[in-house]
Amino acid sequence: MRVSIDTEICQGQGRCFSIAPSIFDFDELGNGVVIGDGTLNEETLSLARLAQSNCPEHAIFIEE
């Protein structure tokens, strides 16, 4: 299971790294970035899903 951010869609709304700072960080422009390779376990999956369902731009994708 992996999470990714589509950088073409992300507008830096900032919800993901506030909700799930263990999974997401921000770059120097304030856009969201995935920490590491985005691999999720059972525990982090639900947190990633929560961030995904709060992203106003629908820029977060989870591959299960």
**Contacting another protein within 4-33 (CB under 8 A):** 11-15, 17-19, 26-30
The β-bridge partners of 24 are 34
The CA distance from 27 to 34, in Å, is 10
Binding-site size for another protein (CB under 8 A) equals 19
Which residues, other chains included, contact 42 with Cβ-Cβ below 8 Å and sequence gap of 6+? none
The CA distance from 40 to 11, in Å, is 23
* Residue 47 binds another protein, judged by CB under 8 A: no
* Residue 62 binds another protein, judged by CB under 8 A: no
* Residue 50 binds another protein, judged by CB under 8 A: yes
Contact set with another protein (CB under 8 A): 11-15, 17-19, 26-30, 50, 53-57
